[in-house]
Amino acid sequence: DVKVTQSSRYLVKRTGEKVFLECVQDMDHENMFWYRQDPGLGLRLIYFSYDVKMKEKGDIPEGYSVSREKKERFSLILESASTNQTSMYLCASRPRGGIAREQYFGPGTRLTVT
Amino acid sequence: TQLLEQSPQFLSIQEGENLTVYCNSSSIFSSLQWYRQEPGEGPVLLVTVVTGGEVKKLKRLTFQFGDARKDSSLHITAAQTGDTGLYLCAGASGEGGSEKLVFGKGTKLTVNP
């Protein structure tokens, strides 16, 4: 089974703090994704990476950065957390290629910024 | 911009009832996935459909991909309380080898005992 793990299930941070969210997958997948999920807005793609040290902006990259130094690990960084970044953050991975393009999700990190 | 519209947004039914949720777009997708997400958890893949007109069954769940590959439906027969969750559809466009998926906003299903 594909296993995607996220470093924290719940996180509370203060406005202005630098926040790191970590995601690790154990299936040697090339592609990894970071989403945020908010009621009424659905899943929105923040960043994705298709290889080590490679990244592409998604639909809402402002206020976020990412790091992919190793194939199995994809980190999301909130440079200076703000209250409007309170959300559920989901990491996903999938292998390169194929028509189906299914993604495998981690359990999520619920981040609250106060 | 590709969009996937899901309907209904909310659905509350009694155990034993049948239901259908829909996922519609004006765009063509090379494949479409359905996920179920339970509260506080990440989405879990249920099925992928890739061929226009394809029908797949997963126990009491029946998934159909439209002939034109622009829409899909999920039918649940004799719903159970364990079917409660958020059902998401997601489409792959196939354009330029993009790895991104387009997600619908989901149908929140509550099955009451």
What residue of B is the nearest CA neighbor of A107? B42
Structure confidence at residue B5 as a pLDDT band (50, 70, 90): very high
- Asked if residues B10 and B107 have their Cβ atoms less than 8 Å apart, the reply is yes
| Residue A102 region by backbone torsions, left for phi larger than 0, else alpha for psi between -120 and 50, else beta | beta
Which comes out higher in pLDDT, residue B97 or A37?
A37
DSSP B4-45: -EEE-SEEEEETT--EEEEEE-SS--SEEEEEEE-TTS--EE
pLDDT for B74 equals 98
* Peptide bond preceding B113 in cis form (omega within 30 of 0): no
pLDDT for B94 equals 60
pLDDT for B70 equals 94
Q: Tell whether the model's pLDDT for residue A12 goes beyond 70.
A: yes
pLDDT for B69 equals 93
For A99, the token pair is: 């028509």
Tell me how close the Cα of B51 comes to any Cα of chain A, in angstroms: 10
Contacts of B50 in chain A (CB under 8 A): 99-100
Measured in Å, how far apart are chain B's first and last C-alpha atoms?
40
What digits encode the pLDDT tens for the residues B70-79?
999 999 999 9
Mean per-residue pLDDT, B64-69: 95
CA distance B4 to B22: 10
